[in-house]
Amino acid sequence: MTPRIFTPLVLFLVIGFLIGPFFIIVAASLSGGETLAFPPQGFSLKWVAKVFTVESFQESFAISMLLAIGGTAAALVLGVPASYALSRYKLPFGETIRTIVSLPIIVPGIIVGLALLRYIVVPFGLNITLTLFLAHTALVLPYAVRVVSASLNNLRSDIEEAAVLLGSSRAGAFFRVVMPNIRSGILAAFILGFVTSFNQVPVSLFLSGPGVRTLPIDMLSYMEITYDPSVAALSALLAFMSIGIVFLAERFLGFSRYV
């Protein structure tokens, strides 16, 4: 095989593997049949419509939304000051702190989930929802710190001193001249964190309790019982939601600069 054929073939295969499943899911969700199958049997929107009638989906969607928004917001509340301190001051163990903050990216989620269940939830009887919230905050924190740090590093620190010499307090300088200039970084971190949290499976898998399930976990268990195309329909809807968010972010913020 010559490289002239080989290269496009590899490219085609990679793109196919990456995007293919998405098209299959979309096609399957528009099926007129009773089971999840590909190619779809006939065409209908009934499974898309059914998604909105499944009660547990509504509940777990709300939980996932709250977790994604709340967890990401909490991660930013912790992450913005942390990034600021890490990028502006020579902290003792600064690099160590940076590494620890990045750990949730490196440690497999399944281990985090198991550890939280075995050593936090079971022995201390900690509320599942609270544990989920803490876990998602920790998972999103590395992204928040990374993205916000990137935009802080692009910002000269002497503008804060300039603000102080013009009469502003140190804290005032942060809110008046630092925050406005890292706003798009913070928004980018929020979107990245939201998507990460919303699609999170392995950690959440261990942290499910009666009536408390995130949407992806709920979809898994739904499929175990009911093998109909509504899961595909829901997946497709979620994928479109993510694409929409990322598209808007790119459109208005130049999101890809920060990741």
Choose between 118 and 156: whose C-beta lies nearer to another protein. Answer: 156
Within 8 A by CB and 6+ apart from 92, the residues are: none
Query: 90: buried, middle or exposed (CB in 10 Å: 19+, 13-18, 0-12)?
Result: exposed
- Cβ nearer to another protein, comparing 154 with 256: 154
215, 146 contact by CB (below 8 A)? no
DSSP codes, 4-61: HHHHHHHHHHHHHHHHHHHHHHHHHHT--SSS--SS-SS--SHHHHHHTT-HHHHHHH
Residue 102 or residue 168: which is nearer to another protein going by CB? 168
Nearest approach in angstroms of CB 193 to another protein is: 23
Our CB check for another protein shows the closer of 99 and 154 to be 154
Binding to another protein (CB under 8 A) within 169-198 occurs at: 169, 172, 176-177, 180-181
The maximal CA–CA distance of the chain, rounded, in angstroms, is 71
Kindly state the smallest distance separating residue 170's Cβ from another protein, in Å: 8
Q: Which residue, 160 or 228, is less far from another protein as judged by CB?
A: 160
Q: At its nearest, how many Å lie between another protein and the CB of residue 166?
A: 3
Q: What is the x/- site pattern for another protein, positions 80-119, by CB under 8 A?
A: ----------------------------------------
Cα–Cα distance measured from residue 194 to residue 103, given in angstroms and rounded to the nearest whole number: 18
User: Are 199 and 64 spatial neighbours (Cβ–Cβ below 8 Å)?
Assistant: no
Cβ atoms of 131 and 121 closer than 8 Å: yes
Read off φ and ψ for residue 212, nearest 5 degrees.
Answer: -120, 105
Residues 221-250 that bind another protein (CB under 8 A): none
Least gap, CB of 179 to another protein (angstroms): 9
Name the residue nearer to another protein (CB basis): 158 or 224: 158
Nearest distance from C-beta of residue 93 to another protein, angstroms: 17
**Phi and psi for 200 in degrees, rounded to 5?**
-70, 130
Site for another protein in 152-171 (CB under 8 A): 155-156, 158-159, 161-169
Residue 3 near another protein by CB under 8 A: no
Which residues 30-49 are close enough to bind another protein by CB under 8 A? none
Of 54 and 163, which has the nearer Cβ to another protein? Answer: 163
Contact 249, 194 (CB under 8 A): no
Binding site for another protein (CB under 8 A): 155-156, 158-159, 161-169, 172, 176-177, 180-181
